[in-house]
Amino acid sequence: MPTLHKPAIYLPEHIITLEETLDLAKKNFKDNPNLEKSIELITNTGVKKRHIIQPIELATLHPGFGYRNAVFEYQSKRLVPNVIEEALSHADITAKDVSAIIYVSCSGFLMPSLTAWLVNKMGFPLQTVQIPIAQLGCAAGGSAINRAHDFILAHPGSNVLIVSCEFCSLSYQPTDGDIGSLLSDGLFGDAITAAVVTSRAGNGLELQRNSSYLIPNTDEWIRYAVKDTGFHFRLDKRVPGTMAPLAPVMAELASTHHWQIDSLDYYIIHAGGPRILDDLCKYLGVQREKFSYSRDTLVNCGNIASSVVFEAYRRMHEDSIFKSDQRGIIAGFGPGIIAEMNLSQWRSAEISRLTA
């Protein structure tokens, strides 16, 4: 069965704290009638700090969409290779062992995809299948895991590299003063993550069953308005309520695999905000502490879009919380509104050798 190995992460050196975020909002939007409500919402996210790719003095400027996209290209090419090398080492493979690269991002645009540059730069086989995913937003992390799962089932013996590069701060819009935009200014952070899915077993999550689901008639609730100035994030106030229809879908996926959604051993959940996590706990019937790693990611990194599920899993892996054969679910949510879900089971290297 395909195995998701320990991810690698890069968090930019520039940090903005909650206090600095609130000070900036008060300074830049002091006459905005939405300021007071936005400050309340930002404070309630629980985000204490975020990492951003540029110093805050540059991040809050807007020299143009072209310039920002050039920053995205330069920084991704500068930083992604080292994250990939670490992820490959975690899976004990090299670039030449990779059959496909799934590259996800919702915060910059390159054509050809960064995958083509990576093949040339890092020595991946020229036959490497390139699968860029650009428009699934925060759900793209879960989608990348699912597509890697599918690829390996279709191509036994293959290995898939997943790369998530999210520089959300490059979408800051200094003239957008609606509540959704102000909230996103205090919620999103930047990160690069990478992880390998192999055909062979090892210390990792054995991917067993995946599924996707779209909530009908919600495609306008999370979106970009693409203008001359770039990506303008639009967030409908109804988004936090979407866990009510998604929880039964997650429960149904578990039941088709003869598992119970409320009695799994671990939950790797996209941390879109505290209400998303709180509501999902309630509707799934699980204890709050079951989502502790997702919550910690939100607190210490903010919403890092498609990278959230990889960072939460990475810290769970590092803390050695998994025991052999434990069962769990990975779930990412994003524009559409969609859910990308995968049921998985922990396999240790020792057990894998005994059952091989």
pLDDT at 177: 87
Query: Residue-wise over 252-283: b if at least 16 C-beta within 10 A, else e?
Result: ebbeeeebebeebebbbbbbbbbebbebbbeb
Helix ranges (DSSP H) in the chain:
18-28, 35-44, 56-59, 65-90, 114-122, 140-154, 179-185, 243-256, 274-284, 292-301, 308-318, 349-355
Print the SS3 string covering 275-303.
HHHHHHHHHHCCCHHHHHHHHHHHHHHCE
Query: At CA 245, angle to CA 240 and CA 246, rounded to 5?
Result: 80
Confidence band, pLDDT 50/70/90 cuts, at residue 354: very low
The pTM of the whole model exceeds 0.75 = yes
Average pLDDT over residues 133-156: 96
HEC assignment per residue over 83-100: HHHHHHHHCCCCHHHCCE
First to last CA, the chain: 11
pLDDT band at 350 (very low <50, low <70, confident <90, very high): low
Whole-angstrom distance, CA of residue 343 vs CA of residue 331:
9
Tell me which fold the domain 3-198 belongs to.
Answer: Peroxisomal Thiolase; Chain A, domain 1 (3.40.47)
Q: Would you give the DSSP letter of residue 212? A: E
Q: Is 281 an annotated catalytic residue?
A: no
pLDDT at 318 over 60: yes
Q: Is residue 154 classed exposed, middle or buried when 0-12, 13-18 and 19+ CB atoms within 10 A define those classes? A: exposed
pLDDT of residue 222: 92
* Percent residues over pLDDT 90 in the chain: 86
pLDDT score of 356 more than 90: no
Asked if residue 339 lies in contact with residue 332, where contact means CB atoms within 8 angstroms, the answer is yes
Q: How confident is the model over 66-93, as pLDDT tens digits?
A: 999 999 999 999 999 999 999 999 999 9
**Predicted confidence (pLDDT) per residue in 148-200, tens digit:** 999 999 999 999 999 999 999 999 998 888 888 889 889 999 999 999 999 99
28: pLDDT confidence band, cut at 50, 70 and 90? confident
Phi, psi of 126 (to 5 degrees): -65, -15
CA distance 161 to 196: 5
| Percent of the chain residues past pLDDT 70, beyond the cut | 98
Between CA 244 and CA 9 the distance in angstroms is 31
Position with higher pLDDT, 275 vs 354:
275
Phi, psi for 173 (deg, rounded to 5)? -120, 105
CATH 3.40.47.10 maps onto the chain at 3-198, 204-355
pLDDT in tens, 280-307: 999 999 999 999 999 999 999 999 999 9
Question: What phi and psi values does residue 264 have, to the nearest 5 degrees?
Answer: -75, 160
| Among 138, 165, 168, 281, the one annotated catalytic | 138
Answer for the pair 53, 12: CB distance below 8 angstroms, yes or no.
Answer: yes
Note the pLDDT tens digit of each residue in 215-248.
999 999 999 999 999 999 998 989 989 999 999 9
Q: What is the mean pLDDT of residues 116-145?
A: 97
Residue pair 169/11 in contact by the 8 Å Cβ criterion: no
Tokens encoding 140 = 């793209």
* Domain 204-355 of CATH type 3.40.47.10: yes
